C-alpha cells in the first residue's frame, strides 16, 4: 500500500492578480484521507439530490396543475428535469434522441417528438431548478465542513454580490416581461434581463441567483439575496452598491460588509476622507435626504458607524473601501486589499455561466422556459463545484507535494462537459449505477487540470457600440 502523502493543502481562488495565501485558508490533510473519505460525502450529496428529484412534495409544488405528471408518459417529472439539464444549446429533436439512447429507459420505447417535449416542459414551473439549487447549497454547508471541504477566511464565509446583463430571445412575451436595450443605431433593440449572483468566492459556489428586469442592482439584493445572508458572512460589493440603504441594512441585520466607494460625487464624509492623508478612519455615516422618510419611519437609523480604508491598486490608483469590520487590531488594511481582490471570483462565476455553460443559448423564447434554462444552468454550475470539490483538493495537494512550478486545479470548462455525460447515470439509474458514475466522474475530473498562474492579468477590452452590435448580430450566431 503506498504511503500517504502528508502535505499542506493550500486553498486558493483563481483570480487574475495571483493567489496570496491569507489567514485560515490552509488546511492540513493527507491525500489518502481525501481520496477515501470524500467519495462518500459526494455520494451522499448525489443521493440527497436524487431524493429531491423524487420527492412527491416537490412534484406537487412545482407542477402547473394538480393533474400534471400523473399519467405514465415518456417524459415523467424526473426524466423531464434531467433532460432539461443536458445539451440545451442543441436542436430539441437531436438532444431527445441522444438522451433516450443514453437512458435506455424501457425496451421498445421511442423518444418523444419536439412538440411533446415542449408540452411536457410547459407543465413544470421555472422555479423548480432554483429550489434544487438551494437544496444543493444547503447540503454543501451542512455536510462538507465535516470533511474540511468548505473554505473560510478567519471563520467567515466570503460572499460577493454582483449583476450581469443576459441577452434574451426577442418576442412579445419577453419584451413585456423583461427589458429592452437600445442605442443610437436604428433597429438595434435587444431584449435583456439582469442576472444577479450571491457567490461564495472561496468555494466558487453560487448560493443564490435571479434573473429579472434591468433595474437598480440594490433592488435585486434586497428582494432576492438578503434573506439568505447570515452573521457568519462577509458580503463584498463593487461601487454599484455604495448606497446608505445597503450599508444600513447590513448593520441592522448584523451581517458584515465591504463596499468599494466612489472617490468623488459621493458622501461628504467619504470625500473628506479621500482628501485627507489618513489611510484608516472610523466615521458616522449619515443618511442622505433621499432616505429622510425611511429614517423618520424608523426603517433606517439616522447614522451608522463604518470604517473607511484606502487601498492602493497595482497601477498606483487609490480606492476607498467602506466596511463594518471596525476592529483595527484584528482586521488590518492589508486584509481588506486581499478580501476585495477575492471579489473577482464572482466575475469568474459569470464568465463560466456565459462562456462555458452558454446560459444565453436559450432553448425556448417563453418566459417560463427561460426561467427553467437559467436556473438549470446555475444548478449545473453548483453541481459541478460540489462534485469536483474533493477531487480539486487532491489535484492541488498532489501538485504541491510533487513540487511543480504551479499549483494545479480542476479545469472547470472540461469538468462541465464531462459532468453532462454522467447526468443520466447520476439521477435516473439505480443506486449501483449512480455510484459507478460518481467514481467514474471523480477519476476523469482529476485528469482535467490546469495551473494557477499568479500575476497573470488580461486587460479588459472596451467594446464600442458598433462592435457590440456586430457581436450580437453575427459573431454570437456563428457559435
Instruction: With CA atoms as reference, report the closest residue to 198 among 46, 17, 52, 382.
Output: 382
Instruction: With CA atoms as reference, report the closest residue to 276 among 312, 309, 317.
Output: 309
pLDDT of 31 reads 41
pLDDT 10s digits, 331-347: 999 999 999 999 999 99
pLDDT reading at 183 higher than 50: yes
CA distance 164 to 194: 6
pLDDT of 212 reads 96
Q: For the chain, what percent of residues have pLDDT higher than 70?
A: 88
Q: What is the CA radius of gyration of the chain?
A: 24
pLDDT reading at 18 higher than 50: no
Residues in contact with 86: Cβ distance below 8 Å, sequence separation at least 6, in sequence order: 95, 99, 420, 423, 424
Between 92-103 and 114-121, two packed helices, what is the crossing angle to 10 degrees? 90
Residue 129 C-alpha cell reads as 431548478
Q: At residue 178, what are phi and psi to the nearest 5 degrees?
A: -110, -155
Q: Where are the alpha helices (DSSP H) in 5-153?
A: 31-53, 56-61, 77-85, 92-103, 114-121, 128-143
Instruction: With CA atoms as reference, report the closest residue to 318 among 268, 280, 265.
Output: 280
Is 163 strand, coil or helix? strand
Q: Where are the beta strands (DSSP E) in 168-226?
A: 179-181, 190-200, 205-212
Is 185 strand, coil or helix? coil
Mean pLDDT in residue range 468-474: 66
Residue 477 C-alpha cell reads as 450566431
pLDDT 10s digits, 258-270: 999 998 888 899 9
Is 323 strand, coil or helix? strand
pLDDT of 312 reads 86
pLDDT reading at 465 higher than 80: no
CB 196 within 8 A of CB 389: no
Residues in contact with 430: Cβ distance below 8 Å, sequence separation at least 6, in sequence order: none
* Residues listed for the chain: 479
pLDDT of 12 reads 36
pLDDT 10s digits, 188-198: 789 999 999 99
Q: Is the dihedral of CA 28, 31, 37, 38 positive or negative?
A: positive
Is 239 strand, coil or helix? helix
pLDDT reading at 27 higher than 80: no
Amino acid at each position: 500500500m503506498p504511503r500517504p502523502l502528508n502535505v499542506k493543502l493550500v486553498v486558493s481562488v483563481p483570480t487574475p492578480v495571483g493567489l496570496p495565501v491569507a489567514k485560515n485558508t490552509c488546511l492540513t490533510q493527507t491525500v489518502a484521507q481525501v481520496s477515501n473519505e470524500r467519495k462518500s460525502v459526494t455520494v451522499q450529496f448525489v443521493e440527497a439530490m436524487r431524493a429531491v428529484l423524487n420527492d412527491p412534495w416537490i412534484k406537487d409544488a412545482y407542477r402547473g396543475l394538480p393533474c400534471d405528471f400523473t399519467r405514465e408518459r415518456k417524459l415523467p417529472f424526473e426524466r423531464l428535469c434531467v433532460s432539461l439539464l443536458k445539451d440545451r444549446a442543441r436542436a430539441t429533436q437531436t438532444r431527445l434522441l441522444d438522451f433516450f439512447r443514453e437512458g435506455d429507459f424501457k425496451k421498445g420505447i421511442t423518444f418523444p417528438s419536439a412538440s411533446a417535449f415542449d408540452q411536457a416542459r410547459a407543465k413544470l414551473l421555472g422555479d423548480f431548478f432554483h429550489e434544487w439549487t438551494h437544496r444543493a447549497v444547503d447540503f454543501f454547508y451542512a455536510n462538507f465542513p465535516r470533511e474540511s471541504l468548505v473554505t473560510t477566511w478567519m471563520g467567515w464565509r466570503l460572499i460577493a454580490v454582483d449583476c450581469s446583463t443576459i441577452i434574451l430571445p426577442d418576442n412579445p412575451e419577453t419584451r413585456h416581461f423583461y427589458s429592452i436595450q437600445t442605442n443610437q443605431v436604428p433597429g438595434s433593440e435587444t431584449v435583456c434581463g439582469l442576472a444577479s449572483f450571491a457567490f461564495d468566492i472561496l468555494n466558487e459556489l453560487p448560493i443564490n441567483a435571479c434573473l429579472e428586469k434591468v433595474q437598480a442592482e440594490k433592488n435585486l439584493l434586497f428582494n432576492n439575496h438578503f434573506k439568505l445572508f447570515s452573521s457568519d458572512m462577509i458580503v463584498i460589493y463593487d461601487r454599484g452598491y455604495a448606497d446608505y440603504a445597503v450599508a444600513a441594512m447590513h448593520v441592522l441585520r448584523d451581517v458584515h460588509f465591504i463596499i468599494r466607494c466612489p472617490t468623488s460625487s459621493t458622501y461628504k464624509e467619504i470625500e473628506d476622507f479621500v482628501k485627507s492623508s489618513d489611510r484608516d478612519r472610523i466615521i458616522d455615516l449619515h443618511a442622505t435626504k433621499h432616505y429622510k422618510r425611511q429614517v423618520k419611519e424608523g426603517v433606517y437609523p439616522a447614522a451608522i458607524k463604518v470604517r473607511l480604508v484606502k487601498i492602493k491598486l497595482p497601477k498606483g490608483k487609490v480606492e476607498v473601501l467602506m466596511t463594518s469590520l471596525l476592529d483595527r487590531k484584528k482586521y488590518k488594511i492589508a486584509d481588506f486589499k486581499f478580501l476585495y481582490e477575492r471579489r473577482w471570483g464572482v466575475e469568474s462565476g459569470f464568465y463560466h455561466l456565459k462562456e462555458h455553460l452558454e446560459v444565453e443559448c436559450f432553448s425556448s423564447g417563453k418566459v417560463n422556459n427561460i426561467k427553467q434554462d437559467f436556473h438549470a444552468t446555475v444548478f449545473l454550475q453548483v453541481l459541478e463545484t460540489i462534485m469536483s470539490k474533493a477531487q480539486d483538493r487532491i489535484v492541488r495537494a498532489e501538485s504541491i507535494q510533487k513540487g511543480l512550478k504551479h499549483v494545479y486545479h480542476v479545469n472547470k470548462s472540461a469538468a462541465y462537459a464531462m459532468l453532462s455525460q454522467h447526468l443520466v447515470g447520476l439521477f435516473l439509474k439505480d443506486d449501483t449505477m449512480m455510484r459507478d458514475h460518481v467514481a467514474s466522474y471523480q477519476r476523469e475530473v482529476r485528469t482535467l487540470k490546469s495551473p494557477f498562474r499568479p500575476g497573470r492579468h488580461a486587460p479588459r477590452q472596451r467594446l464600442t457600440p458598433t462592435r457590440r452590435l456586430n457581436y450580437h448580430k453575427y459573431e454570437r450566431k456563428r457559435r
